[in-house]
Each structure stands twice: as structure tokens, then as C-alpha cells.
Structure 1
Amino acid sequence: MTRRALVFEPDGLSRQERRRHRREQHRNDRAQVAPPAARRERGLPEAAAPGPFGPGLTDGGYWNLAPVHVPPHQATSQHIAGIYPFVADAGLGHRGPIVGVDLNADALWHFSPWETYADSTDRGSFSTNVLVLGAYRAGKSAVIKTLVTRSMAFGHQAVVPSDPKGEWVAVAEAIPGGNVIRLGGAYDTRLNPLDRGPRRTGVTNEQHEQMVKQRRITVLTSLVGAALPGSHLTAVEHAALLEALERCIRTTDDHPTLRGVYTELTGLTREADRDRHLAQGAIQPSFVLRRFVNGDLSDLFEDESTVQFDDAAPIVVVDTSELFARGDLVAQLSQICTTAWNQAVISDRAAHRTRYVIREEGWRDMTSLASLQMYQQWLKLSRHYGISNIVILHKMGDLDAVGEADSQERNLAYSIAGDIENKFIFRINQQEGASIHQRLAIPPAHVAMARQLRKGEFLAYVGQFSYLVDAFATSTPWEYDLFKTDDAMELDSRYDDEFRTLDDPVLESLWPGDSRYGDTPAGPSAGDASVDGWLTQKELQ
């Protein structure tokens, strides 16, 4: 009896191709059993080397006279795409600074809001603004500091209009040329929110005067409106403010201050015989500005500025941490003043500068309808001015502090947050799931994932795509020391499982040798293999 081996033939062969395939198969079978001398004499290929179990024995331990030829797997491209690693995403490319590691693609993740805005493909974004949302101690501030600091190697600058915790001060002081402006406490520093500001390049005299006038009116109405929660400026009160501002401009030779406006408002209240309605409209605004002149906001914004905005500095931080001792409303009003003061400088489009504007506890800029409208306008004009607004919130519930339930202010605040296209979602609390699903249109599966994120991990939504990024996987010990915001965190805890800084194959490939990214605590040295755009301590020095 002849023993025949099982032969596999590819599907779709013609009769002639099948005969040729069988002859080739028979020739190979003979090569396996023929002696070596006979194989060489007949020109047959060499026999396969014996397996680990001896000549003729397969891994299963049984005899097989003919090799088994398993055809390659055949499937459609739709099905084959589900096999790893073909499921890995291409990411945003290599433009911009390194932010972290894309955990789905196992590759470095780069991000620059200006690069994504310039990208005309479906990977691009229609906005340069970023919404950052996450619970306490989720790593939000440290990741944003990482992004901003590394972006300086690409020529971008940064402005923090109000630093309520003082956590950006150390970053500004560590960067050569960084500028820190301290308000409150023992610091004898004043900012005049009614400053003219620098003249924009390429505008006419008439356009410049109109811009200055509109900015002054906006900051005045925002201040008064923020100090009157639950109420709105009437038309008469608005007219009284404008009249007082115009009088102050005339009497001070175009150097108005809040003290001067307060003086003119007080004078208007005494002119009831000339214009009774205007005199009554000046009462409420005068009481608000009185707080800046003689009340809990004095010695901050009522007189001429004692400092200047250094537009050439890589980072400018306004430290308002001392103001929190005076109450939340003081901090909110201060944030309006500092934001308006900064915007007068950074809104020069012709200067061709690109800046991050970091809004820590961004809900504090949304205290009234006037400030909300100014906030919304500034976000819309960010692309025009080359600005990337980074709005940081602990939870969507932070916006519940804006106005009453179902009020125009609260709805506008939620609309502003939802309209920011680029979103970084860090670990969220259990009760936040429904809110971000409803308000930000985050898919339920992503909401469940956001509840389980570790420190430094976040879901990044850029354009039409989403990414799971671990930012701490590419951080150095020097960055941990500089960017940490929890004073109770011990230095040694940087290398625990939560931070995932040990035995990282990605970083080991970047900096061979020490698994903690260099032989020194300061990170990689000048001789180490570095990545394009990486901003190390060596480069900062």
C-alpha cells in the first residue's frame, strides 16, 4: 500500500497550475527521504535539518514522512486590520514638542496647537485652544507645564495672566529670561488695566484709538458686572461708566486709572440737578470701584502701572496667590484686570509671535455676562492673534459657579467650554461621567476609560481623532521636581509604579544605559542621544 502525504493546494489555481504545484510538492517530498549523495547527484535541494526530537520526529512526537506545508492566512483587508499591530494609529506625526507616549501606537506623541491648525488633512484641528479637564492630582498642571516648557524650543512663548496657586512662578524663574509679576501681600506692584498698551503694527491712528477705547470700556464693564452677582448693568449705569471714563481721559491727558474713573463717578452722583438719571446710574458703579480705591482691592489696580509686560520674555507669570487671602471675588476681579492688561500686549498680530495663554481655574474668568462675552470673543480671536488659550478645569461642575441654574451666563459658560475643539481629559471622578458625556460629547466607552486613568495619562481629542497619552513616560526627574504641585509628594515617589519611569523600553531606546533617563538626576546630558525638539535642563541653561 502506498502512503500518500496530505497536500495543501492554494485556492483558485487552474488545472495546469495544480499539476505544476503537485510535481513540485512530489519533488520536495523525495528530497526529504533521499540520501544526501543521491540528492546532490539529482540536483535536489538539501533535506531539512532534523527537529529537536530526532530525525523525522515533529514537535508533537509522531513520525511524519512528508513536511506539512501550511498556506499563509488569507483574509480581506477589513478583517486583517483587526490584527495587532495594524490597529496602531499613525498619530499626529513628528511636528511639535514631545508630550508623551501614545499608549495605543506605542510611539512618541507630539503636539502643537499651531501645527494641528495648519494641518489641512483630517488630522488637523480648526482651533488652537485647548480645554484641560481632570480631577485633583490627575497630573493636569504638570502635563501642561511640560508642553509649554518644551514648546519654547520651537519659539513659542507663554503667558499666565493669573497664577492663583503660585505654581508657575518656579517654572518662570527656572527659564532664562522668564518674567514674574507679583501682586498682593508685601509686593508694592500695581497694574493699570486701563493702560493704552502698545500700538499694533500696521494700523491707522483711527483704528488704534478705537481699539484702545473698546478695550477700556470692556474691562470697566466686566469689573463692575463681576462685582454685582445676580444683576446686570442697566443702560443708565453703562452710560454713566462711559461718561466717567471719557471725563477721566480728558482730565488726565489720556492716562485714565480706576481711581480717576471713581472720582468722576462720584462727581456724577452730585449732579442730580443736571441729569438725574445719569446721577442715579453712577451710584452702583462708584461703589464697586470704591473697593479698588479704598477697599479690599486697594494698592493693586487703582493707579498707574509700576511694572511693564516684557513681550520678549519666553514666559510671563502674574503671581496672584497672595490675593486669595482676600476672598474669591477679589481673585476673580484681579483675574479680569490682569487678563485685560496682558491682552493689550499680546494681541499684536503683526508681531508674528505665538503664545500660550494658560488660564488656571478658567471658570474665574466667567463671573458675569460681560466677562463671559469678553472671554468668548478672546477665544474666537485666538487664531487671528496666534494665541493658544489653555483653559484648565477640575470638573464641568466648576461652571455651576457661573450664574444661576439655566441662566444665560451658565449656558454661555458651558457653550464656551464645549466649543473648544482640542480637549485633554485626565482622570475624572465617578460623578463626572454623565456631565462630560452630555456637555462635551465624549463617548461612553471613553468616559469609562477616563475614570481609570493613572496620573499623567489623558485622552487627547484633536480634530476628528482621539489618543491615549502617557505624558509622564517621557519626563525627566528634573521636570518632576520643577513641575510638581503637591508639596507633600516625596521625591522618591517619582519612580513608583504610578509614574511608570522604570524599565521603560521606549526611553531605554532614546537614552541607552540608565533606566531613569540618564546617569544624573538632572536628566540626559549633552552627550546622550536626544530627540528633536526636546527641551532639557542643559538646553535651558
Structure 2
Amino acid sequence: MSTRRQASVGWALPDRVPRPWLGPPGRRAGRVLHRMTLPAHVESTAQLRGMFPWLAGVGLPTAGTYIGQERFSGSPFCFDPWRLYSLGLLHDAGIFIAGVIGSGKSALAKSLCTRGVAFGRRFAVPGDIRGEWVPVVQALGGRVLRLGPGMTERLNALAMPPKPDGMTDDRWWPIVRSHWEELLVALVRTLLPEQRALTMDERTALETALTTATRRHDVGGDLSRLRPIHLGLLVDLLLDPTPDMAEQHHLDPATLRDRTHDIGLAIRALTRGSLAGLLDDDRPDNQLDWRDAATVVDISRVKTSDTAVALVMATTQSVIELAFAHRPGHRFTVYDEAWRLNRFPALMARTNAGQKVSRATGNATLLLCHRATDMLGGTPESQFHGRALLADCGTRILYRQRSDQLAVTAAELHLDDNQACLLPLLEQGTALWKVNDQPYLVDHLVLRGGREWHLIDTDQTMRDDYPEPTGAAP
């Protein structure tokens, strides 16, 4: 039986014949019936960011302090608030930094200040609560003042700073006296029951007591001949006003004594008890020099209460402000643990007032907190000043945040959904920067093991390789 092989014939189009349903030929030919002829659309990255928030566009100019690398564009990220302000890219020099413990906010603040010294930027830390800024300032050859029980250094809250060049005595005295009055009002109000506002008699008594204590009228207004004063002298005058003070109030001394008794006792609390010897030094000079590259007041030994820490912070802030007043220069003023002030409306108001005059003084306020809500605690008045401080910060730097903080953070700092959802996922050392509402994702770069690393690293005691102290048990 024979088998017969049958050949099948298939029909196929040759390759050279176009197949209109497959589109044009090529390696990645599309499946369209005809070639698209729509014109190309040209748009700027600023507009496209409305649909694609993390579109890599033109970053900040590479001028000023080097911070690290912008994550999406891969370009170097430099930041200098004064340089950006002069270029019209930043409207306010205030900086707000927030992040959970260990996220890298303190390291960034120290890098920003230490690297800025090379560009002529000075910095001051009015209240170093943990003493971690001390080695930074010492490495830069700056000035360190240590306050606390058993320490020999003190501050005189009412020390007369050197008069700026070109300023007359008649102009300098009202500036100094009003500065002292504002500080005393804030301190007294913080110590009074329910932090009530001062009466007009009490406010006027502070002014007359300052003038009487310095004996300004007796020396014809010559500031070089004024009697050096301190808080102890002021307490004596408020608890026992002089006839001249009573005459200026148009009251008899007994009536004035009754009306100034409460504020006299409030100031006395600053010179007795746990705060004795911190702010009531009778020396006329606080040994602060505005020409120092770095200044820090170490209050790590003041551990009595949050109120005591806040009072010392406010006083040292005022002393530094007055010492550097009317000497314009580019300077960072660092408020680490700024949340400690939010329970005290008067102290928040002082900080807010100092930030609002930054354009005249050349000062850039640097606020460090764990979260945005740290600035929104306390009374409604404290919350008002906290929101004002945030509004005056043209640069917001957000490190990792916990999920339960996202809603408030997004609402207060005007973050969109993409930016807010990114915050819990940020790695250590990576932060969302918003400079004039323009977002940047920045990696803070530091040479590990270098000299800067040992100065700015605040987590070294938590690591396994941290050396044990000599004589410690195994």
C-alpha cells in the first residue's frame, strides 16, 4: 500500500507589503491605523508640576552652603537664605525644621550653621538645652557661656551692651530701656497666676524703676556714667517704690507699693530659689561679642521645670538680641526645642516680634521641633503666635513624620496629598524642603567619620559601636 504525501499550500503576505492595521513598520511600531500628525505640545515644568508634583525641574542656584543632593534631578542642592533673598527667590529668611527623633533635623541645623561660617554667616544658640551645640561652637573658636547650679558663669538680664558706632546716647538709651521693659513684661507675665496681662500701673512701674535704678536723671543722660543695674535692684524698687516713682504715677508711695507688689515678687522669683545665680549677675558686662563667629548659652544643667527652662531661654534670647542689636550682619539664631515656649504666650510673642524685624537686622530664625503641632499648643494666644512664626518662615524643612500627624501638617504647611503621603516614608537624612512653596526632596550629605560628622551626630550614644566609659562593667 502506498502512501501519498500531501503538500499544504499556505497563503501569506510578503514582508514588504504594508499591513495598515498594524501601523508603520519598525522595531516598536504602534498598532494604529494611521500615523499621528498632531503638533507637539510645549509646556514649562512650572505648569506641568500641577499634574506631576515631583517633576524634576530647575532647582535652586548653586550658590551658598552645600547641603547635599536633590533626589529627583540629581543636581547639587545649595541653600543660603540671604543669597536667595537677594535673587528674589525667597521672601523671608525664617527656617522651620521638623522631624521625629533620629530623622536628622539637628544634624542639618548644625551643618547649615557650621558650613555657613565659611561664607561669613555667624550663628547664636540662646538656649542649648542638651549641651550638644557646645562642641560645635568650640570647634569653631566661638564663645560658650554655661549657666546652671554650681557654674561660675552667669548672665545679667539688665546688662548695658556697648553702644553701636555712630549712635548718640539719646538714641541708644530708649532702645535699651524698651528692650528691657519688653523682656521684663514677658518674664513677669509668665510667672503671674494664669499668666495674666500687666496693668498700666505695673507696666509704668517697670519703666520708672529702670530709670530710677540707673540714676539716669542724676547724670544728665550720660550713658557712660549710668549705675550698672541687675534684677535684684529692680526687685527692691518694686517692693518699696521711692517717692519720686510715686510722684511720676501721681500716687502716694503706699498705694503704688500695693499695686507693684505682685510684679516685684514675680521678679524676685528669678533671683531666689532654683533660678538664683543664673540671670541676676551684678557684673555690668555679659562677655558677649557680636563679632564672634558662633555663640552658645549652655543651659543643660537647668532641669528644674519647663517653666524655668523657658524663662532662661527667653532671657538669653533677649540678651543676645540686644548685644547684637543695630549691628546688621547675616546671622542664624537657633531655637532648638522651640516647643518648650508654646505654653507661655508672652514668650512666644517675644520670639515672634524678634522674627518680624529680621529684615532690618539681617537675622535668620531657625526653629527646630519634632512636628508642626509643637508650635500650635497652649492657649489660643500661643497658637496665634505659633502660626505667625510658621507663616514668617519662607523655608520649611520636613523630615520623617508619623502618620497621625499628616493631616495637621498638610493643613498648616500647605502640602498637597503627594507631599504629605511621602513624609512617613522618608529615610534618615532625607527631607522635603519647601522653599517659597516650591518642593525639593533633598538628601543631606555628610562625610561619615569626618570631623563634621563627629560634631553633628547626635545619635552616636545609641549605636552598638559607641565606646564604653573607662571602668564600666562589661
Length-normalised TM-score, structure 2: 0.81
Q: Which residue of 1 aligns with 2:16?
A: 5
1:157/1:231 CA distance change after superposition, 3 Å = same
Query: Residues 466-487 of structure 1, C-alpha deviation per residue, up to 9 Å, x if partnerless?
Result: 101111x344322332212224
Q: Which has the larger radius of gyration?
A: 1
Q: Which residue of 2 aligns with 1:334?
A: 312
What is the distance in 1 between the residues matched to 2:75 and 2:295?
Answer: 33
SS at match of 2:16: coil
1:6/1:468 CA distance change after superposition, 3 Å = farther
Greater RCO structure (CA 8 Å; 6+ sep):
2
Q: Which residue of 1 aligns with 2:432?
A: 459
1:103 is the counterpart of 2:79? no
Q: Which residue identity does 1:386 align to in structure 2?
A: G
1:197/1:470 CA distance change after superposition, 3 Å = same
Q: Which residue of 2 aligns with 1:257?
A: 230
1:128 is the counterpart of 2:93? yes
Kept after mapping to 2: 8 A contact 1:426/1:457 = yes
What is the distance in 2 between the residues matched to 1:72 and 1:105?
Answer: 32
1:280/1:149 CA distance change after superposition, 3 Å = same
Superposed displacement of residue 315, structure 1? 0.8
Q: Which residue of 2 aligns with 1:38?
A: none
1:170 is the counterpart of 2:135? yes
Kept after mapping to 1: 8 A contact 2:155/2:279 = yes
Q: Which residue of 1 aligns with 2:407?
A: 434
Q: Which residue of 1 aligns with 2:296?
A: 317
Query: Residues 192-216 of structure 1, C-alpha deviation per residue, up to 9 Å, x if partnerless?
Result: 1212212234333322111111111
Unaligned runs of 5+ in 1: 9-57, 61-69, 494-541
Kept after mapping to 1: 8 A contact 2:189/2:195 = no
Superposed displacement of residue 230, structure 1? 3.6
What is the distance in 2 between the residues matched to 1:78 and 1:95?
Answer: 27
Q: Which residue of 1 aligns with 2:272?
A: 294
1:389/1:79 CA distance change after superposition, 3 Å = closer
Superposed displacement of residue 116, structure 1? 1.2
Alignment of 1:481-492 (within 5 A): 481-490=454-463
Superposed displacement of residue 369, structure 1? 3.8
Matched residue count: 424
What is the distance in 2 between the residues matched to 1:201 and 1:104?
Answer: 49
Alignment of 1:40-55 (within 5 A): none
Q: Which residue of 1 aligns with 2:118?
A: 153
Superposed displacement of residue 398, structure 1? 2.2
What is the distance in 1 between the residues matched to 2:270 and 2:195?
Answer: 21
What is the distance in 1 between the residues matched to 2:118 and 2:111?
Answer: 12
What is the distance in 2 between the residues matched to 1:234 and 1:400?
Answer: 27
Q: Which residue of 1 aligns with 2:164?
A: 200
- Let me know the Cα RMSD of the aligned residues: 3.3
Q: Which residue identity does 1:489 align to in structure 2?
A: M
SS at match of 2:441: strand
Length-normalised TM-score, structure 1: 0.71
Alignment of 1:234-383 (within 5 A): 234-250=199-215, 253-268=226-241, 274-305=252-283, 307-324=286-303, 326-349=304-327, 352-383=328-359
What is the distance in 2 between the residues matched to 1:445 and 1:281?
Answer: 57
1:268/1:465 CA distance change after superposition, 3 Å = same
Superposed displacement of residue 380, structure 1? 1.1
Unaligned runs of 5+ in 2: 1-12, 20-25, 29-34, 217-224, 467-474
What is the distance in 2 between the residues matched to 1:207 and 1:492?
Answer: 58
- Identity value in percent: 25
Q: Which residue of 2 aligns with 1:476?
A: 448
What is the distance in 1 between the residues matched to 2:57 and 2:390?
Answer: 27
SS at match of 1:390: strand
Q: Which residue identity does 2:16 align to in structure 1?
A: A
SS at match of 1:98: strand
Kept after mapping to 2: 8 A contact 1:198/1:344 = no
What is the distance in 1 between the residues matched to 2:96 and 2:263?
Answer: 33
Kept after mapping to 2: 8 A contact 1:180/1:316 = yes
Query: Residues 51-91 of structure 1, C-alpha deviation per residue, up to 9 Å, x if partnerless?
Result: xxxxxxx999xxxxxxxxx9999842349979x9x942221
What is the distance in 2 between the residues matched to 1:456 and 1:77?
Answer: 36
Q: 2:174 aligns with which of 188, 198, 210?
A: 210
SS at match of 2:72: coil
Q: Which residue identity does 1:451 align to in structure 2?
A: P
Q: 2:85 aligns with which of 99, 105, 117?
A: 117
Superposed displacement of residue 322, structure 1? 0.3
Superposed displacement of residue 367, structure 1? 4.9
Q: Which residue identity does 2:181 align to in structure 1?
A: I
